[in-house]
Chain A
Amino acid sequence: MIKFIFKAILRDKNRSILPVMVVAIGVFLTIALSGYLTGMLGDIVDQTARFQTGHVKVMSRAYAQNIDQLPNDLALLGIDKVHQELENDFPDYTWVNRINFGGIIDAPGSNDKSKGQGPAMGMAIELFSESSGEVGRLNLTNSLIDGKVPEKSGEVLIGYEFAKKLKVKVGDELTYMGNTMNGSMTFAKFIVSGTVRFGVASMDKGTIIIDFTDAQQILDMANGAGEILGFYKDEVFIQEQTEQMCDVFNAKYAQDPDEFAPIMKALGEQNSMGTYLNLVNSVSSMFVIVFIMVMSVVLWNTGLIGGLRRYQEFGIRLGLGEAKGHIYKTMIYEAVIIGTIGSIIGTALGIGVTLLMQKYGIDISGMMKDATMMMPTMLKSKFSLHLLYIGFIPGLFAMVIGNMLSGIGIYKRETATLFKELEV
């Protein structure tokens, strides 16, 4: 019987091509859009993790309470000991030191006049430690517009828009003016080693990057760091795992009354990222539910039209002695076959487009010129294993449900009435 159904599907284009196309298009759209959403939303999470939050972050309690002000006067001290503890307790993570600081940058020109000046947002990272992986994590080498990543103390990397504004180029000198963690003024001279495009408009326009040890020295933060970021070694963020880690780490210091005792926060607990992560999950789920509903209605209608066209066939089959239930069952088999073919085609197309979008992406830097939000300027899709079933299963179900609904018409009509359709 299955062979017989297959023959009919292959030969009757109205029965196969239209539903297969509808399913394939629906599945394709689901996968392509889901991949795009995952990519876009994931990029924002990933970008935030790499530049700001890590997968987890360790700070002093006081620093954590005033984190919006980047209060280096409340920084974590005695970080050697904290590192030791983190590396022992959580060996699957890479732990890196960061200091975020602010200040004024002056680009000295000729005749003791400045070429340019401006407020700077400084990031101090472990540039010279290969094990930290920071250069790769922030994709600095590939993001260079000019010059190179700092290789020795006293060198600075600067956002390319910022460099334009200051009218500096590689090899030029910059003066940093700010204050130490103790509140006294500090000055430091740096040589521009390179200009970089972060891909985040706000950073391109005002960020400098120096080595962590340089920052410790300038800001008077010996054995101190504003933040210690932890990254899972595969660089994949796993929300539940980070939450468990935080519980374990924080439980150790729960009884410590020191306001400078370390505290660990997961990505989801920082920068309102928890809400954002929940939103990402909700949007994905809603997307799938809406798809199933819309596709079911579309395929129900397709099934109804097909069913009406096939009343003659049903009448003949009843006359030949096929039971209504068997006709209904064969309709479902057909739906499974057509749904599977359509879903395979749609999945293949959807994943193909997702992979292309993952590789090439869409450059929106032109639109982000004046943006001050931390947003990626390259929109890319992201392939993940769930794309293999996120469209396939709903595609199959929608087709089957659509046919089940339209097939109910067979039961509602009297056998003799269906048979009478033969006279039409």
Chain B
Amino acid sequence: MQDKIIVTENLVKRYPVGDGQFTALSNINLTFEKGEFSGVIGPSGSGKTTLLNIIGSLDSPTEGVVNVMGHNISTLTHKEAAQLRNMHIGFIFQVYNLLPVYTVFENVEFALILQKRNATERKKEVMQALEWVGLENMANKKPSKLSGGEGQRVAIARAMVKRPQLVLADEPTANLDAKNAHSILQTMKKLNQELNTTFLFSTHDQKVMEYLNRLITLEDGKVASDILKVGNGSPTEEKNAQIKTAQ
């Protein structure tokens, strides 16, 4: 973990509400390094999703600087932001959000089509991604024929197929049972270790927290704590947690 992949400096995000303004994020200063397996936790309305949206270049800060892989989010045009997501960021959603008219293969392939990769390369990469998540035999199935766990695996394959440097996962286990949640988390952890991909979660699921190396707690839009664990983050090895930063 050497390169700084995300740096936020004095990040503030406000939304207009009626005549006034609501502050969703206040003075956030965080740094994430390549290969981290981190999570933002906190109650609903604490600003987790807003933070992830800004890091994912879907939204922009009201004040402060957010630098993602050398790109200042505030100064990116729509097209540049899309390009950043296309090439370097993968998203995993709470409800999988697969495109229902396409097969599993095509859902995963879509990310590579946007990168204008050729058909042979796409096929190879998609099958590789499906192998990572153990769904290589389900390539031709439609999302409606998949279980919840399988759907989320496809979503992981779709996020990982372009081998992004950063994966943003918003409540990825919220709709899964414990067995599937653990299985999904183990898959992501494995990919984090094998491909050195940075994962940033937004969650309030205890099961996810057990796997994370770093836990950032948001309360009312502010960082309440930032805890770095020692070990690889799997539940069995979690120990000796120590506070790295607290604001």
Q: Which residues of A pack against B, CB within 8 Å?
A: 1, 4, 7-8, 11-12, 15, 312-313, 315-326, 414-416, 419, 422-423
**What is the CA–CA distance of A320 and B86 in the complex, to the nearest angstrom?**
6
> Could you say which residues of chain A place their CB within 8 Å of the CB of B101?
7-8, 11-12, 15
Chain B residues within 8 Å of A12, by CB: 101
Q: Which of A7, A316, A320 contacts B106 (CB 8 A)?
A: A7
Of A12, A415, A422, chain B has the most CB atoms within 10 Å of the CB of A415
User: Which of chain A's residues have a CB closer than 8 A to the CB of B158?
Assistant: 320
In the assembled complex, how far is the CB of residue B126 from the closest CB belonging to chain A, in whole angstroms? 13
> Is B87 part of the contact surface with A, judged by Cβ < 8 Å?
yes
**With known contacts A4-B106, A320-B110, A415-B78, A312–B97 Cβ distance under 8 A:** yes
Of A11, A319, A423, the residue contacting B58 (CB under 8 A) is: A319
B132 at the interface (CB under 8 A from A): no
CB neighbours (8 Å) of A15 from chain B are 101
Complex CA gap A1/B110 in Å reads 9
Which residues of chain A come closer than 8 Å to B98, judged between CB atoms? 316
**Residues of B contacting A7 with CB < 8 Å?**
101-102, 106
Once A12-B101, A318-B58 are accepted as A-B contacts, the answer to whether A423 and B85 lie under 8 Å apart by CB is: no
Interchain CB contact under 8 A, A422 and B114: no
> How many CB-defined contacts (below 8 Å) exist between A and B?
77
With A415-B59, A423-B94 known as contacts, the answer to whether A323 contacts B110 (CB < 8 A) is no
- Cα(A415)–Cα(B82), bound, Å: 10
A321 touching B53, Cβ below 8 Å: no
For chain B residues 61-85, which have a beta carbon within 8 Å of chain A?
Answer: 78-79, 81-85
B82 touches A322 (CB 8 A): yes
B181 CB-CB contact with A under 8 Å: no
A422 close to B59 (CB less than 8 A): no
B94 near A321 with CB under 8 A, answer: no
A319 touches B91 (CB 8 A): yes
Complexed CA–CA distance, A228 and B81 (Å): 78
In the complex formed, the residue of B with least CB distance to A319 is B91
Q: State which of B56, B81, B86, B97 has its C-beta within 8 Å of the C-beta of A316.
A: B97
Say yes or no for B185: interface residue by CB 8 A criterion.
no
B241: interface (CB < 8 Å): no
